[in-house]
């Protein structure tokens, strides 16, 4: 079993309820192979953490950009809490070393791991909220997520990739991109979607997300990079 004291020392936070901390890292697949473990997986914590994260980030952006309209703030928030951003931050915090996964899941280091890391970040936020309250959770998010905001805004990383890809595809190839959902992964309450984007009959790229919209955006961004149109 992982030694979570090491993780606590790394992030400078000590949990009162150690079971909550462990549950944040406990993937459903791990329980399938360790049926004697009397704990729940982290999906309920992920549900809670997602809501807390959204509120904290919304409050921050609302105060930081008093002149920006709702649409821009929504786009900034989406860029801050999407799978790519959260998995990157989770990786920097060393969360990958503490994941409790099945042997099969542990071997996968690609896109699936990225989603597990993003979900674990949200689970950790939920666990921290339950263990230490809103202010401590806000401090954690502020320290690890807020510093990314300026780069996201200045470099236009928040912009709608689908719109950009459609505009350039029509300009360069006179084709409107088409999107097709090719896979739905996970239980109903925590699905990940895989979407392919096509130009005519040619598949350009795939993307994944917690909603079809997020997956389409990811596919469009990947397509921009694949075509060197980014």
How many alpha carbons lie under 13 Å from residue 177 in its C-beta half-sphere?
A: 30
- The set of residues, in sequence order, having a beta carbon less than 8 Å from that of 199 and lying 6+ positions away, is 169, 173, 175, 177, 178
Q: Which CATH class is domain 161-226?
A: alpha beta
- The set of residues, in sequence order, having a beta carbon less than 8 Å from that of 95 and lying 6+ positions away, is 7, 25, 117, 120, 121, 124
- Catalytic pick from 122, 131, 208, 214? 122
Q: State the DSSP H helix or E strand holding residue 185, giving kind and residue range, or none if neither.
A: strand 178-185
When pLDDT is cut at 50, 70 and 90, the band that residue 53 belongs to is: very high
- Catalytic pick from 43, 46, 50, 214? 50
Q: Where in the chain is the domain with CATH 1.10.1520.10?
A: 4-154
Of the listed ranges 106-115, 123-132, 191-200, the least confidently predicted one is 106-115
Pairing of strands 202-209, 178-185: unpaired
- DSSP for 122-167 reads HHHHHHHHHHHHHHHHHHHHHHHTGGGHHHHHHTTTTS-HHHHHHH
Q: How confident is the model over 133-176, as pLDDT tens digits?
A: 999 999 999 999 999 999 888 877 677 788 889 988 998 999 99
Q: Where in the chain is the domain with CATH 3.30.160.20?
A: 161-226
CB 169 within 8 A of CB 205: no
Per-residue DSSP letter, 204: E
Task: Please check the confidence at residue 200 and state whether its pLDDT lies above 90.
Answer: yes
Q: Is 122 a catalytic residue?
A: yes
> What is the fold, at CATH topology level, of the domain defined by 4-154?
Ribonuclease iii, N-terminal Endonuclease Domain; Chain A (1.10.1520)
Q: Measured in whole angstroms, how far is the alpha carbon of residue 193 from the centre of its chain? A: 13
CB 42 within 8 A of CB 23: yes
Q: Is 202 a catalytic residue?
A: no
Q: How confident is the model over 11-52, as pLDDT tens digits?
A: 999 999 999 999 999 999 898 888 888 899 999 999 999 999
């Amino acid at each position: 079993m992982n030694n979570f004291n090491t993780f606590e020392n790394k992030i400078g936070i000590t949990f009162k309820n150690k079971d909550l901390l462990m549950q944040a890292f406990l993937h459903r697949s791990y329980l399938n192979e360790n049926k004697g473990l009397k704990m729940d997986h982290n999906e309920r914590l992920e549900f809670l953490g997602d809501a807390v994260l959204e509120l904290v980030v919304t409050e921050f952006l609302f105060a930081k950009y008093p002149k920006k309209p709702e649409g821009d703030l929504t786009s900034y928030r989406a860029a801050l809490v999407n799978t790519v951003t959260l998995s990157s931050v989770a990786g920097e915090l060393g969360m990958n070393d503490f994941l409790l996964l099945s042997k099969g899941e542990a071997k996968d280091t690609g896109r699936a791991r990225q989603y597990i890391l993003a979900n674990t970040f949200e689970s950790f936020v939920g666990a921290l909220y339950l263990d230490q309250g809103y202010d401590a959770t806000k401090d954690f998010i502020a320290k690890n997520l807020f510093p990314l905001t300026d780069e996201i805004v200045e470099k236009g990383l928040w912009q709608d990739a689908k719109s950009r890809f459609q505009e350039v595809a029509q300009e360069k190839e006179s084709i409107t991109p088409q999107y097709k959902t090719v896979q739905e992964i996970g239980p109903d309450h925590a699905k990940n979607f895989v979407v392919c984007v096509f130009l005519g009959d040619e598949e350009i790229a795939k993307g994944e997300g917690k909603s079809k919209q997020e997956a389409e955006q990811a596919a469009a961004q990947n397509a921009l990079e694949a075509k060197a149109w980014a």
